[in-house]
Amino acid sequence: MGEQVPSPVQVRLDELHARVQLNCEGEVATYIPALGKADPALFGLALATHDGHVYESGDTGVGFTIQSVSKPFVYALALYDRGLNGVLERVGVEPTGEGFDALRLEPETGRPLNPMVNAGAIVTASLVNGDDWGQRFQRILDGLSAFAGRELRVDHEVLASEERTGDHNRALGYLLRNAGVLEGDVDKALAVYFRQCSVVVTARDLAVMGATLAGGGVNPVTGQRVVGADTTEHVLAVMATCGTYDFAGEWLLRAGLPAKSGVAGGLVAVLPSQLGIGVFSPPLDRRGTSVRAIAACQELSARFGLHLMRPVNRTAPVLHRFLRGDSLSSQRSRRHAEREILQANSGQIAICELQGDLGFAAADVAVRAIADGLDGVRWLVLDLHRVGRAEPVAVDLLDTLVGELRERGVGTAVAAEDGESPVIAEASFRSLDEALEWCEDALIAQECPPSERAGLDPAAHVPLGEQDLLRDLPAEMIDVLTPLVVERRLAPGEPLFEPGDRPDETLYFVVSGGLIAQQVSGDEVIRMASMGPGTTVTRLTLVDDRNPYRIVAEEPTVLQVLSQTVQKRLEDEHPQVVEALHWAMARGLAARLRQADAQNHALLGSAVPVER
């Protein structure tokens, strides 16, 4: 398929926009005269996702003054600059049950009840960093711009209109200074507030600003951190309880989205962690909220399932896979005796791959499942490669679990990005395969009878006659073969076989040391498998145009090599030896294939049952 597929979300957003456009109720605000000129047909609807994708429908590029929608963002800046308690001293966080222009101040402290009513917003604007009012406004303008991800400006016509008609707000200013919560020149404080309200934004801007609150303060489009995650938690909580004044309760009940509206017809709504919605449509209801914004958000919430209190993600699987050693083994070529030990004791190794973000609930499910699933286990591989973010509580719970396991004789190997485990464990590795190999080595060392220990030692020297591939061949065949193989020595790092090579040799017996197989693609080298003394590398499994393997010595390594020329001679002189070799190779390959197929099946089918 070459052609671009239209986005299903865009399709639905456009349909919804067309429906809501038909709603012509409400009146354009006139109490600031410059706003009265707005076209009541304008309607922009934008949705910005946590990963910075922005869907837009209608007039999402039309500028309008932000008005009260600025309040939560300036509150965020003040919280970020002053800290929660520094702001709470001057502005409360309780809903008023009254309108945006509520005069009521808290009797004991003189604080305005919350930062979403004008009185609270005027004090909040005075609390952002800045040595003077000019610097404070610049901080506000820069902050709003960072939330939006573009440079915003002030509409001076609306500003002049606001200033001419701002006497109620001036009265609030003097009441606030009288109560001791606003300091300095009231006119200058009001000038900052009026300019803040006159900043021009679009519905798209509001969506991105909302998504920045949703994402813990990082603008998902620009990647810039604007405020901290604690700050956005607090701002969203206040938007939830106070964002739409005396309509806050019913708004949260119906739309289920913390939100803030403005008198120019703008509205921002936020689903924490997920998305921001920006709406612009000038006609307002009697409480001063855009009629189409209310309709669009409630319908979006219902159709897209966005209610904050909705039960969702209960089944998001935190266990990607939870397997035992019988369904997954490392890519180390094992000797027959080692394979037998691993098979007989496969239940002693457990492999647990976690995934997703680990917050409390996910970590709780994970530690419970692990603790309940370790019957008979002595070694645990904990693979964290698929974990996005592990919150402190998750690291703490995993640390505690690993510590408890250690006391019970269970060793844990962690596989994590760059081998850097956030959890304290016995060992940590870059890959699941290496972690699993470590567990297998430990298991073999523990279970191996003393008599065989020497032969399974990775430092062992395994002469031709004791090689695994030849173990069923009669002694006279070994005697035929012995003078025909050639010794070859490799230094650490020396390649035996480069991608694309088609060498003359057909069989390599590892006598001592060890080889690793690497897959090379561009600069990337991936460790695919490893082979120790007593195992065999055959050209048969390596030569493939699609698999550019490199075989390289991991340490000083001695091989016995059978060349194709010698094999040809053998075919004429001792066909039964070649026949026996091929049969042994086929048998070995079949065994490995069975294991690989079983592993494939385990990997494909090992979905952890979804909780219902």
Q: Which tokens hold the place of 169? A: 């707000």
Among the listed ranges 65-73, 440-448, 498-506, 600-608, the one in contact with its own copies (CB under 8 A) is 600-608
Considering only 26, 44, 72, 92, the residue that binds its own copies (CB under 8 A) is 92
Pairing of strands 557-563, 505-512: antiparallel
| Residues 153 and 137: beta-carbon distance below 8 Å | no
Sole binder of its own copies in the list 19, 153, 168, 303 (CB under 8 A): 303
- Footprint on residues 510-569 left by its own copies (CB under 8 A): 519, 526, 528, 538, 540-541, 544, 546-547
> Is 611 a binder of its own copies (CB under 8 A)?
yes
Between 64 and 497, CB nearer to its own copies: 497
Residue numbers 443-482 binding its own copies by CB under 8 A: none
Q: Does 268 contact its own copies by CB under 8 A?
A: no
Stretch that binds its own copies, among 86-94, 191-199, 200-208, 464-472 (CB under 8 A): 86-94
* Number of chain positions touching its own copies (CB under 8 A): 141
What letter does residue 89 receive in the DSSP assignment? T
Nearest-approach distance from CB 604 to its own copies, in angstroms: 6
> In this structure, are residues 181 and 150 in contact, taking their beta carbons and an 8 Å threshold?
no
Among 186, 401, 423, 553, binds its own copies (CB under 8 A): 401
Instruction: Quote the tokens at residue 276.
Output: 């921001």
Is 68 annotated as a binding-site member?
A: yes
The contact pattern for its own copies, residues 329-368, with x = CB under 8 A and - = no contact, is --------------x-----------xxx-xxx--xx-xx
Cα dihedral: 176, 178, 182, 187 (round 10) = 80
Start-end of H helices in 278-391: 291-304, 336-344, 360-372
DSSP code at position 462: -
Compute the least distance from the CB of residue 151 to its own copies, in Å: 26
169 is in an annotated binding site: yes
Say if residues 43 and 14 touch (Cβ distance below 8 Å).
Answer: no
Q: Pick the binder of its own copies from 258, 266, 282, 422 (CB under 8 A).
A: 258
Interacting positions 490-519 with its own copies (CB under 8 A): 519
Q: Is 263 annotated as a binding residue?
A: yes
Q: What is the three-class DSSP state of 600?
A: helix
Round to whole Å and give the CA distance between 524 and 521: 5
CA distance 522 to 538: 25
- Which of residues 29, 259, 306, 552 is near its own copies by CB under 8 A? 306
245 annotated to bind ligand: yes
Q: Least CB distance from residue 205 to its own copies, whole Å?
A: 20
DSSP secondary structure of 553-582: ESSSEEEEEEEHHHHHHHHHH-HHHHHHHH
313 in a known ligand binding site: no
Q: Which two tokens stand for residue 190?
A: 């009001």
Nearer residue to its own copies within complex by CB, 215 or 265: 215
| Residue 370 CB coordination number (10 Å) | 22
55 is in an annotated binding site: no
Decide if residue 327 touches its own copies (CB under 8 A): no
User: Which are the catalytic amino acids?
Assistant: 68, 71, 193, 245, 263
Query: Per rule CB under 8 A, is residue 30 in the interface with its own copies?
Result: no
**Sequence-ordered strand ranges (E) for 458-556:** 486-490, 495-497, 505-512, 515-521, 524-531, 536-538, 549-553
Cα 160 vs. chain centroid, distance in angstroms? 46
**Binding site for substrate, residues?**
68, 118, 162, 169, 193, 245, 263
